[in-house]
Amino acid sequence: MREIVFDTETTGLKARGGDRLVEIGCVEMVNRVLTGNIYHVYINPERDMPIEAFNVHGLSEEFLSDKPVFADVAQEFLDFVGQDTLVAHNASFDIGFMNAELDRLSLPPISQDRVVDTLELARRKHGNTGNTLDQLMNRYGVDNSRRVKHGALLDAELLAEVYVELLGGRQISLIGLVEEETDKKPAHLSVVGSLPGGGLRQRPVPLASRLTAEEKAAHEAFVSSMGDKALWLTYADESETSSPQID
């Protein structure tokens, strides 16, 4: 499942009142794990930069003056996000600005039914207070030391970490529940089902196998055709004994 976590910076608060986008930052997640694939662009808003907005994100009119206008980057943004789910914090703000920009180009708007609002997720989980992005990062122990000012790409990266915590924590990324050495994992990743001592929590009673007798026989026939040195034979031997399973 592909999702795009994104954030924007703007010249102000009124998408339909003359304010414009000045930055878009997107990070790609597949099965709730960051892939490293990003989209990031600064945008010339074709207007002045109010001091109130500059104090939030630090993007000056001079800095943005040689950046592309939205019309020049609209299609590459749409190509990056495709038709996948978009995730944003207080999504109505970001989507409102994005759709206002698309409307100026007579392009179709982004439909609300493909948008996940992490602010709404947080309110359902924690009530109506303490749900700003900074407060949620503190709640979940997400390192925000780099966040001196708002920046769309950094905020999207931080929001991605908050998002998976709101959904209950990160999933194990490899089918088969393969344990990786701790020093090979990115520092910001955690594993659902991990114990304080670093082991994996196990089910008291293993789940029943979902393989049918026909599927098992077909797999054994395939493995036997690979010769007596096939790596699969090692796992076939191990599978003959029952092993505990992870929550």
This prediction has a pTM of 0.68
**Secondary element (H or E) of residue 161:** helix 152-166
Which CATH number goes with the domain that contains 77?
Answer: 3.30.420.10
Q: And the tokens for 171?
A: 């999933």
Residue 80 resides in a domain: yes
176 part of a folded domain: no
Phi and psi (nearest 5°) for 227? 95, 165
The mean pLDDT value for 18-26 works out to: 97
Written as one letter, the residue type at 212 is T
Tens-digit pLDDT profile for residues 96-127: 999 999 999 999 999 999 999 999 999 999 99
**103/223 same-domain check:** no
pLDDT at position 70 is 98
- Confirm if 161 and 142 have CB atoms less than 8 A apart: yes
- Same domain as 125, residue 206: no
Q: Could you tell me if residue 68 is inside a domain?
A: yes
pLDDT of 191 > 80? The answer is: no
Domain count along the chain: 2
What DSSP state is assigned to residue 201? -
Give the end of a domain, one of 166, 187, 213. 166
The pLDDT tens digits for 23-67 are 999 999 999 999 999 999 999 999 999 999 999 999 999 999 999
Do both 69 and 154 map to the same domain? yes
Whether residue 156 sits in one domain with residue 35? yes
Spatial CB neighbours of 53, under 8 Å, sequence gap ≥ 6: 9, 10, 11, 12, 22, 59
For residues 52 and 12, is the Cβ–Cβ distance under 8 A?
Answer: yes
Asked if residue 219 and residue 133 are part of one domain, the reply reads no
Q: Which domain covers residue 97, as residue numbers?
A: 2-166
Mean pLDDT on 172-189: 35
pLDDT (0 to 100) of residue 243: 44
* Boundary residue ending a domain (150, 166, 182): 166
- Kindly state whether residue 230 falls inside one of the protein's structural domains: yes
pLDDT at residue number 13: 95
Q: How confident is the model at residue 214 (pLDDT cuts 50, 70, 90)?
A: confident
Do 215 and 124 lie in a common domain? no
Query: Exactly one of 40, 89, 126, 150 is catalytic; which is it?
Result: 150
Q: Are 149 and 101 found together in one domain?
A: yes
Over residues 192-213, the pLDDT tens digits come to 333 444 444 444 555 566 667 7
Q: Tell me, what's the pLDDT at 187?
A: 33
Q: Is 173's pLDDT higher than 60?
A: no
Q: Which residue would you say has higher pLDDT here, 182 or 130? A: 130
CA atoms within 13 A on the CB side of 118: 32
> Has 126 been annotated as catalytic?
no
Regarding whether 130 and 49 lie in a shared domain, the answer is: yes
Answer yes or no: is 224 within a domain. yes
Q: Which amino acid would we find at residue 91?
A: A
User: Do 26 and 148 fall into the same domain?
Assistant: yes
56 and 102 in a single domain? The answer is yes
